[in-house]
Amino acid sequence: MIVGLGNPGRDYVRTRHNAGFMALDKLADRHAPGAPVRQRFHSSTLDINIPGAGKCMLMKPLTFMNRSGLAVAEAVNFFKLEPAEDLLVIVDEVAIDLGTIRLRATGSAGGHNGLADIERVLTTPDYARCRVGIGPQGMGTRHDFVLARFSEDQIPVIEAGVSKAADAAECWATSGITTAMNTFNTRPPKADTPKLKQEPNHTAEQGEAPRRDTPEVQDNE
């Protein structure tokens, strides 16, 4: 089961907090374009078939972000899923640069209310999660930042990010979280640090006092 977190309703469409919903839209367009969506488990759900993985349910909780655990737990209990093996949650992350993704097999909620509620209801942090970067945060409060829409120049970057999250979700479904992490948790190569030019080593001539970097301290005693 792949869950994308967000807030329902027209006021929240394509806001930063709905990056999880946007990633699920990518998966739906790839694997079940035009297919009818079902309303169950306090969610909008869609069954898709991922080549190499088989049937998989996409879920958008309609409970609002802070109560995401209610929807996730209902489906987990109904299908008798093992969260550590059968659940991937895609979520926005303000602490990661825009368009970057990070996958983890477990971990803390990191201040995200949706993840915190899922952990509370499932009574375990052991489920895979894919964080989609929406940061860094600009001026104002975090609340206002995550509920605002992306600027025009940010849209291509977040579109690439949620597409990558959809790729990672497919990899998770076919090959598991370890392979997905090894494949998608890549960092850009560090730029080469220029080497400092070494000054020539001046050897003191016979009878000449050696150079000192700091002045001698007078002994006042």
Catalytic-labelled residue, pool 17, 31, 42, 202: 17
At 115, the amino acid letter reads: L
- The DSSP output letter for 60 is E
C-alpha closest to that of 38 among 24, 57, 55: 57
∠ CA 20-88-123 to the nearest 5 degrees?
110
User: Does residue 17 have an active-site annotation?
Assistant: yes
The pair of three-digit structure tokens given for residue 128, joined into one six-digit string: 């895979």
Return the residue matching tokens 């009574």.
Answer: 123
Give the closest residue to 168 by CA, choosing from 194, 126, 207, 133. Answer: 133
* C-beta contacts of 147-152 below 8 A and 24+ residues apart: 147/7, 147/12, 147/15, 147/16, 147/17, 148/15, 148/16, 149/14, 149/15, 149/16, 150/14, 150/16
CA distance 134 to 215: 52
Active site residues: 17
